Amino acid sequence: MREKSFLQYLQFEKRFSQNTLTAYRKDLEQFLHFIQEELGLASVEEVGHFHIRSWIVHLMTQGRSSRTANRKLSTLKAYFKFLIRRNYLQADPTAKVSAPKAGKRLPGSLRKSELGQLFQQVEFEGGYTGARDRMILELLYATGMRRSEAMALELKDIDFDSLQVRIMGKGSKERLVPASPALADNIKAYLEEREQAFPAADCPKLFLTGKGKPIYPKLMYNIVHKYLSLVTNNSRRGPHALRHSFATHLSENGAGLDAIKALLGHSSLASTQVYTHNSIERLRQIYRDAHPKAGPDKG
C-alpha cells in the first residue's frame, strides 16, 4: 500500500513520465524482494543502512554498473524520504549510504590513422556538397570547435591575413583559434566552390545546404556520421568525436592543459583534464604492447 502511494505521489504530484515511473517501480520491487527473500525482513521499518549497502553489493556482484546502482539508490532515497514525510518512518536508512563511484567515461576519439584515412583515401562527391562536407570535417578536427559553433561561423570570422578563426562559443564567449596555411588554402578553395554554386547568395554563414540556406544541426551531424562511419567503428561518430580527437591528439603530442582549455573554449580546467586521462589510457596500452616488462608473460 505504501509503495502504491509512493508511485501515485511520483505520478500526480511530481508528474514523472511513464518510463520514469516504470523504472522506479521496478527498482522498488527488486529491493523489497531482496530484503524479504535474501535478508528475511518483514517490512521496510526493519531496514537499516547496512541492509541497503548489502543490496548495493548484491547489484555490483551481479555485474550491474555503478551508474545503475546509483540510479537504484536514488529510487530508495526518494522512497524513504517519502515515508518520513508521511510519518511512516522516523529515520532515513539511506542517509549513511554512499553512492558507488562511477567510472569516468572517457570521450570517444578517433585514431590518427583513421583520420589520415578519412582525409587521404575517402573520396568525396564533386561540386559544392562534396567540398562542403570535406571542409566541415577538416575544420572541426583542425579547430576543435563544437557543431553549434561551426554552424554559426560566418565568412567574416576567417582571417586569412593573420591565419586565425574567430569562434563564438558558449555564453557568447569569443575565442581565436589558429589556422594552418594548409587549412586556410582549403577554406579558400571551398569558398570558390561556394561562390560557383551560389553566386547570388547573400547568406553570411560559412556552411550552406544544397539549396543555399544556412546549414542545420541534423544535416551537419549526418554529414559527419556518414564519413566517420567509413573509417572507424567508434560508437561515437558525430561532430563531437572530432572535437574529442582534436583535444586528445594535442594532449598526446605534449600540449599543455591550459593551451587545450583555451582552444576548446572551456570555462573550467576540470573539463579539459579528461583528455589527459584519455591520453594516459592510450599510453598505457602502448606500454602494455611494447615494453618487455609490461605483462606477466614478458621478459
Active site residue 275: yes
Active site residue 33: no
Q: Is 208 helix (H, G, I), strand (E, B) or coil?
A: strand
Q: For helices 181-197 and 127-143, give the axis angle rounded to 10 degrees.
A: 150
Catalytic residue among 170, 188, 226, 291: 170
Catalytic residue among 53, 58, 225, 240: 240
Active site residue 96: no
Catalytic residue among 146, 237, 244, 261: 146
Catalytic residue among 194, 243, 249, 261: 243
Active site residue 112: no
Which residues lie below 8 Å from residue 87, measured CB to CB, with a gap of 6+? Answer: none
Encoded amino acid at 90, one letter: Q
Query: Residue with C-alpha cell 500526480?
Result: 12
Beta strands in the chain (DSSP E): 158-159, 164-168, 174-178
The dihedral region occupied by 169, where left means phi > 0, alpha psi between -120 and 50, and beta the remainder, is: beta
Give Cα separations from 107 to 79, 275, 276, 278 (angstroms): 34, 8, 11, 7
Active site residue 284: no
Q: What DSSP element (H or E) covers 7?
A: helix 2-8
Active site residue 105: no
Which residues lie below 8 Å from residue 239, measured CB to CB, with a gap of 6+? Answer: 140, 146, 147, 150, 220, 221, 224
Q: Are 206 and 158 in contact (CB under 8 A)?
A: yes
Which residues lie below 8 Å from residue 35, measured CB to CB, with a gap of 6+? Answer: 41, 44, 46, 47, 51, 55
Q: What DSSP element (H or E) covers 191?
A: helix 181-197
Tell me the catalytic residues.
146, 170, 240, 243, 266, 275
